[in-house]
Amino acid sequence: MKGRILMVQGTMSHVGKSVLVAALCRILRQDGLRVAPFKAQNMALNSFVTPDGCEIGRAQAVQAEAAGVEPQAEMNPILLKPEADHRSQVVVMGRPVGSFTAKEYHEMKPRLLPVVLDALERLRSTFDVVVVEGAGSPVEVNLRAHDLANMGLAVRVGAPVLLVGDIDRGGVFAQLIGTLELLEPQERFLVKGLIINKFRGDKSLLSPGLQFLEQRAGIPVAGVIPYWEELALPAEDSVALEGVAQKRRHGVLDVAVVRLPHISNFDDVDPLGGEPGVGIRFVRAGEELAQPDLILVPGSKTTMADLAFLRTSGLAQAIIMAAAQGSAVVGICGGFQMLGLEIVDPDHVESEQPYATGLGLLPVVTIFQRNKITNQVEGEVVCDYGLLAGCRGLPFKGYEIHIGSSARLGVEAPFVLLRRSGEGCQVAEGALGGNGWILGTYVHGIFANDDLRRRILSNLALRKGVTLPKVKALRQDPHDRWAAVVRAHLDMGLIYRLLDDRV
């Protein structure tokens, strides 16, 4: 028997579809079902590499983790990675197929629909339940033709739909009722439950609104999910940074993260923000930088354009001056490339600009190449000074997603990769300069390695002459904690009836 389907759609982007799918994956797994996530089309710069080297949306990797299964390309058959000039790189079944305008991609959709349906069928042949996440809003009327991510898919496969609205952003009743009103009759028939997400306050005060929703829509409210400050799952896209970028969290260590226009895989920052005593702030201009203990230059989808932004915003000179005065600097992926001497793009892989001068903080030259490198990696630290004092021999895991290679010019490689996509290797990785206080690496997730992260932070604290608070005892798995919140506020009886019934 084919696996059953449950679909979660939203009234707009960033209403919480991704994290609710993650919660449902964990709840169903806890209840003894084999479950997998699925998102036909994901537009995001946060991506992940599967064990076999395929690139998918980071959110689907998080959802797979919640489901207790390895991520695979079938869980996100189409990934769109926005680039400059209103184009996106299109990744199909984990491999890039080119860069296209929105119009060109829209014309491709009929050819991609069989890919989407085949990926979903393969998951259904393996798992008891597939929890499907929609994309954006299902009622973007200009995009309704050839829709393969929302109602177009739901109608084809007969998926019951839970429709989610975000009360924290206001107008949730208009969000939900307006979306239902714009659906075609066969689409509206598939909506079997409404969810209000990110609710703050006394639920009893919401009762008249819930009654109105059910009477007006003729559809039950399946749940009112509270706004949970402790939600610790990675965000899907940079919309989540809009509020954070304007706030500062104080700590004994000050970490400034450069808010690049095309920032990617910014969840590399999350493990640092979870450490006691570490303050994280995002900076957009040179005057905001000051003299932090650590400057983090994260990944970028368009390195050349973001390097130009560093200069026009004043951040380039501010970073160089802060490093000269004692700030440590870490560049990851595109950030690593920007810290070097120069970036060369002879084949115009990324832009029409064939050459750019880097910040000059690491003696490294990067040459862009057409082939994208995507691997899960394992390695160990081979340096023992500066940021990495006391780290020699520490193992780490992570993943790499980049174009181009970076050649070191008389500077030490801090890491050695021992496995790439499951195959043994011996590859020197990254660069360490500035007497050990400037680090560049292609390894995403480097700070997710607890021992390595805490040693780096301890070295920063020792250099500053401060003491970090002690790390608290390990808390419950964040997936379990979030699943418990959602289970307590979601009508699981309705969920199981939807899974048992054929729409």
Annotated catalytic residues are 333, 444
Yes or no: say if 200 and 236 are a contact pair by the CB < 8 Å rule.
Answer: no
Cα–Cα distance between 79 and 116 in angstroms, integer?
11
Number of CB atoms found within 10 A of residue 111's CB: 10
Yes or no: say if 380 and 415 are a contact pair by the CB < 8 Å rule.
Answer: yes
Half-sphere exposure at residue 186, Cβ-oriented, CA atoms within 13 angstroms: 8
Structure tokens at 485: 């919140």
According to DSSP, residue 390 is labeled T
Q: Which residue has the tokens 């983090």?
A: 296
Cα–Cα distance between 362 and 339 in angstroms, integer?
6
**Amino acid making up residue 173:** F
Number of CB atoms found within 10 A of residue 228's CB: 14
Structure tokens at 156: 């084809």
Yes or no: say if 82 and 428 are a contact pair by the CB < 8 Å rule.
Answer: no
Yes or no: say if 74 and 56 are a contact pair by the CB < 8 Å rule.
Answer: no
SS3 84: coil
Cα–Cα distance between 49 and 56 in angstroms, integer?
6
